[in-house]
Amino acid sequence: MSELAPVVITGVGTALPGVTGTADLVTGPDLPAEPVDPAAVLGKRGLKYKDRATQLGLCVAFDGLKDAGLRDDEGPQAEGARIGVVVASNYGNVDTVCRVTTTIANETSRGTSPMDSPNASSNIIASEIAIRYKLGGPNLTVCNGDASGLDALRWAATMLNAGRADQFLVIGVEPDNEMVRKLVGADRIVDGAVAVVLEREETAQERGARIRARIDGFARTGTVEAGVRRLRTLGDDTPGGWYLPETAGGSEIPADLLAGVPRHGMPDAWGALSGVLGVLQCAVAAGRFDAGEQSPVYATAGRDGDGIAGAVLCAPRGTP
């Protein structure tokens, strides 16, 4: 993937418990906190019958587009036909699928509600975001396990390089409910969403967008060690920090791997992050660069028994 021209982050959006803005991502969330209330951000209109993941996605999409200067409170500031959407989510519609299955077992198909019909499709979050904000570019839903967030960023970068859109709104979102907790075996799920807006560096410069971070390259490997080796060939080989996968698939990450580089996990109090993680890592890095940090960081997500995604995140060029 090293052949991709660099892409930059020009917007960050959050709909996370204990977070009111990007700065909170650097200092750490104020937890425990009340669940995110999408109606408080968007108003109630258009949220009825939408599942929790879709509501969180709509909420964070608004925040991300606004932050990137692609829309303001009055409406769009850019041509929606040239903006695409990539959503990373593993558990978005698990609740609907489980609930409908129970209904059919107890009441036959006649007991099901037509309101559940759209939510049975896993791409509902991305397509509803496109409809609400009139984003006509490619619309992709990545359901690829723990690496989904970084994979979503990689495919957005690939499509930007192919000229398929001017910007991509990349979102990671996972809802919290009893079905997902049972499936994942976790006490809580993040019940939140993160967005970043990605575009080619030249596009951002042409429209005068504020560049928050640059992604210098992506890796996809079978193990964390191989991933780190690949990242070292793509960018600065001694990063200032390393964002770790949520779980390494049971295997410990060797202590001498990137020895001396500070390792960062996300706060346990958020619970399982899954598809949110990779996008969150980018958002946190952007927050740190906003605050003046200069050293690049490595982001990694995924599991050894599946695949590890990695990215090199850098401060914008020419930052004083």
Site for other proteins in 83-112 (CB under 8 A): 84-85, 90-91, 94, 96-98, 100-105, 108-110, 112
User: Do the beta carbons of residue 275 and residue 90 sit within 8 Å?
Assistant: yes
Please give the residues from 183 up to 222 whose contact with other proteins meets the rule CB under 8 A.
Answer: 183-185, 220-222
Taking the complex as a whole, the smallest distance from the CB of residue 169 to other proteins amounts, in Å, to 12
Contact flag: residue 158 with other proteins (CB under 8 A): yes
Taking the complex as a whole, the smallest distance from the CB of residue 69 to other proteins amounts, in Å, to 20
Taking the complex as a whole, the smallest distance from the CB of residue 89 to other proteins amounts, in Å, to 9
> Of 27, 305, 317, 319, which one interacts with other proteins (CB under 8 A)?
305
**Partners of 313 in the beta sheet?**
215, 297
User: Do the beta carbons of residue 92 and residue 191 sit within 8 Å?
Assistant: no
Residue type for position 276: V
Contact flag: residue 6 with other proteins (CB under 8 A): no
The Cα 163–Cα 236 span in angstroms is: 27
Whether the CA torsion 183, 184, 188, 189 is positive or negative: it is: negative
Which helix (H) or strand (E) element contains residue 8?
strand 7-15
Taking the complex as a whole, the smallest distance from the CB of residue 140 to other proteins amounts, in Å, to 6
The tally of CA atoms less than 13 A away on the side-chain side of residue 151 is: 23
Please give the residues from 161 up to 190 whose contact with other proteins meets the rule CB under 8 A.
Answer: 161-162, 164, 179, 183-185
Contact flag: residue 42 with other proteins (CB under 8 A): no
Taking the complex as a whole, the smallest distance from the CB of residue 124 to other proteins amounts, in Å, to 7
The Cα 281–Cα 109 span in angstroms is: 42
Contact flag: residue 301 with other proteins (CB under 8 A): no
Which of the stretches 60-68, 194-202, 237-245, 304-312 binds other proteins when contact is defined by CB under 8 A? 304-312
Taking the complex as a whole, the smallest distance from the CB of residue 20 to other proteins amounts, in Å, to 30
List the structure tokens of 106.
């107890």
Please give the residues from 116 up to 155 whose contact with other proteins meets the rule CB under 8 A.
Answer: 116-118, 120-124, 126-128, 130-131, 133-147, 151, 155
The Cα 218–Cα 234 span in angstroms is: 8
Contact flag: residue 3 with other proteins (CB under 8 A): yes
Q: Residues 259-298: x/- map of binding to other proteins (CB under 8 A)?
A: ----------------------------------------
Cis peptide, bond prior to residue 17, ω within 30 of zero? no
The tally of CA atoms less than 13 A away on the side-chain side of residue 269 is: 12
| Residue whose structure tokens are 């418990």 | 17
Planar angle of CA 212, 214, 220, nearest 5 degrees: 135
> Of 56, 173, 285, 308, which one interacts with other proteins (CB under 8 A)?
308
Taking the complex as a whole, the smallest distance from the CB of residue 213 to other proteins amounts, in Å, to 21
> Residues binding other proteins: what is the number (CB under 8 A)?
72
Taking the complex as a whole, the smallest distance from the CB of residue 217 to other proteins amounts, in Å, to 10
The per-residue b/e assignment along 268-279, b for 16 or more CB within 10 angstroms, e otherwise, is eebbbbbbbbbb
